[in-house]
Amino acid sequence: MLAGFYIVYNKSKKYFCLIMSLEQEISKRRTFGIISHPDAGKTTLTEKLLLFGGAIQSAGAVKSNKIKKTATSDFMEIEKQRGISVATSVMAFNYKDVKINILDTPGHKDFAEDTYRTLTAVDSVILVIDCANGVEAQTKKLMEVCRMRKTPVIVFINKMDREGQDPFDLLDEIESHLGINVRPLSWPIGIGSTFQGVYNMFENHLNLFDSNKTKMEREIVSIKDINDPVLNEQIGEAADDLRENVELIEGVYDEFEVERYNSGDLAPVFFGSALNNFGVQELLDTFVKIAPFPRSRETNIKVVNPTDSKFSGFIFKIHANLDPKHRDRIAFLRICSGKFERNKFYQHIRIDKKMRFSNPTSFMAQDKSVIEEAFPGDVIGLYDTGNFKIGDTLTEGEKMEFQGIPSFSPEIFKELVNKDPMKTKQLEKGIQQLTDEGVAQLFIQQPGNRKIVGTVGELQFEVIQYRLEHEYGASAAFEAKNLYKACWMTTDNEQKLEDFIKRKATNIAKDKDDNYVFLAQTRFLLQSAESDYPEITFHTTSEFKTEMVEQ
């Protein structure tokens, strides 16, 4: 369809409606994730964005998904709440005629892999940094994934109402620890008790701070340029410091260019205080101006552009229904091209099956509703009775699979032990479905069909045990395995690989896709395998183009 609006008569509902072209639908959408180290302010910022976007009316409406104590009961409680209101996984709202889709990412480090996968479904991210703590461990890992995918990043330095590090030191830290170039677009006047607001270099205005958490309107003062005497009237002696700082910034940092931001090379930086609603509107206004439209994505055979007329999309998250009476799940589909329509048949590529969906769901802030159609950039929920695995592709028939949803080597490995032989079937089904959901990775070892479960955190084992019991009626325990890494292998010399697999049989397993994996017990044993078998390359991610750099 060509660009432009179309007025059509809807026969069944008997009204005229305005139809936008696919290009127009795409250009209205911005799909992004907010990432941060736990406690930097991700939940608070998300909530404030929704408030400014008019999607919620009061603070406190967004449920925090962070887990303060690493106890299963807390996790299950949070998951139950989230199960009831799955909307918290995707929060869509309209702002200035743009449809914004925020994808929620778990802050807890034990769920890092879930966050990595969600990052495959966004077109850009906002990175929240606590001004006192600067760059933290989790921030580094998440940024590594963004860098690998060249995801455009906007940095929001939060909690400026509290004492923190010098802003120049923070920028240096971000550049050196996260490996990205930055360009401040606003600059703070003071910090903590001396914080007076920010000077917006992009728009040439002063945004004055008022520590009123409920106030949404800010005092904005227009400034001709940095030498305007109005500055002295407004912020007194701090004006001279500000002038010096701005001069330094213009001299040291590159000019802001949207193209560089879009290619993931330059991150604009804002300062603010999410809790005090401060700097959030500026962030949102800039975001809608510069954040990229839905981007093209690679499949195993070609690059798919959002404007391609045929529908395609992939599953990046599966959310279980925690009510044991209903085994159904919600699979989250990111639409990559064309138009998705309710009740139309689509091809599930991995299992080679035609499927149609009668209740596809969209998520607007806190409401779920069944939709008739959806467009690139949108994320919709599909009710699933066990057909989907993370990474699955749906198309109008074309045989292709989206790339870039790799599994990373787990950090902790345990063997699953069946405690009730009468419930073997339930256990098999349960562990299979839970690993399809991405709760953990499953490696099967022969002989004996032994199941090694790998995770990035201890918490998942408790979750699996709890869910196996409550949802599948199976009783299981875990026995610790002393393993260092799971490595996927590639080679040009099949004979050597076969030889290796035979010789190392006790440390070989198969992953969910039937690929051989080497379970190395120690770093030393991995290194000696590498030197004994130079023909084989050992990878710590399942997708080799996007290999993560070891920390």
Which residues contribute to the site for ligand G4P (CB under 6 A)? Answer: 36, 38-44, 64, 66, 107, 158-159, 161-162, 273-276
Please name the residue that has the structure tokens 């005092």: 219
Distance (Å) of CA 139 to CA 116, 144, 177, 268, 367: 12, 9, 10, 17, 30
Q: How far is the CB of 184 from ligand G4P (least distance, A)?
A: 18
Q: Which is nearer to ligand G4P, 36 or 207 (CB)?
A: 36
Q: How far is the CB of 216 from ligand G4P (least distance, A)?
A: 15
Q: Which is nearer to ligand G4P, 116 or 388 (CB)?
A: 116
Q: Which is nearer to ligand G4P, 218 or 451 (CB)?
A: 218
Q: How far is the CB of 44 from ligand G4P (least distance, A)?
A: 3
Strands 29-36 and 98-103: parallel
Q: How far is the CB of 283 from ligand G4P (least distance, A)?
A: 12
Burial code (b: 16+ CB inside 10 Å, e: under 16) for 408-436 equals bbbbbbbebebeeeebeebbeebbebbbb
* Start-to-end CA span in the chain (Å): 48
Q: Report the sign of the C-alpha dihedral through residues 145, 147, 149, 154, in that order.
A: positive
Burial code (b: 16+ CB inside 10 Å, e: under 16) for 265-280 equals bbbbbbbbbbbbbbbb
Q: What is the dihedral of CA 421, 425, 430, 433, to 10 degrees?
A: 150
Q: How far is the CB of 207 from ligand G4P (least distance, A)?
A: 14
8 A C-beta contact, residue 297 and residue 304: yes
Which DSSP state fits 337? E
8 A C-beta contact, residue 453 and residue 461: yes
Could you tell me where the beta strands, DSSP code E, fall in 96-200? 98-103, 124-130, 153-158, 181-184, 186-189, 197-200
Q: Which is nearer to ligand G4P, 46 or 393 (CB)?
A: 46
Q: Which is nearer to ligand G4P, 29 or 42 (CB)?
A: 42
Please give the distance of CA 508 from its chain centroid, rounded to a whole number: 31
Q: How far is the CB of 276 from ligand G4P (least distance, A)?
A: 6
Please name the residue that has the structure tokens 């925690």: 322
Distance CA 466, CA 461 (A): 8
Helix, strand, or coil (residue 218): coil
Q: How far is the CB of 61 from ligand G4P (least distance, A)?
A: 13
Q: How far is the CB of 97 from ligand G4P (least distance, A)?
A: 28
Q: Which is nearer to ligand G4P, 268 or 272 (CB)?
A: 272
Q: Which is nearer to ligand G4P, 217 or 479 (CB)?
A: 217
Q: Which is nearer to ligand G4P, 162 or 368 (CB)?
A: 162
Q: How far is the CB of 459 from ligand G4P (least distance, A)?
A: 16
Q: What is the dihedral of CA 288, 270, 154, 39, to 10 degrees?
A: -110
8 A C-beta contact, residue 33 and residue 125: yes
By residue count, the chain amounts to: 551
Amino acid (one-letter) located at 478: F
Q: Which is nearer to ligand G4P, 77 or 328 (CB)?
A: 77
Q: Which is nearer to ligand G4P, 40 or 143 (CB)?
A: 40
Q: How far is the CB of 241 from ligand G4P (least distance, A)?
A: 22
Q: How far is the CB of 66 from ligand G4P (least distance, A)?
A: 4
Which residues pair with residue 350 across a beta bridge?
none
Q: How far is the CB of 365 from ligand G4P (least distance, A)?
A: 17
Q: Which is nearer to ligand G4P, 158 or 433 (CB)?
A: 158
The helix or strand, by DSSP H or E, that contains position 467, with its residue range, turns out to be: helix 459-472
Q: Which is nearer to ligand G4P, 158 or 362 (CB)?
A: 158
Q: How far is the CB of 200 from ligand G4P (least distance, A)?
A: 18
Distance (Å) of CA 506 to CA 95, 160, 188: 57, 54, 59
Q: Which is nearer to ligand G4P, 64 or 181 (CB)?
A: 64
DSSP string, 171-212: HHHHHHHH--EEEESEEEES-GGG--EEEETTTTEEEE----
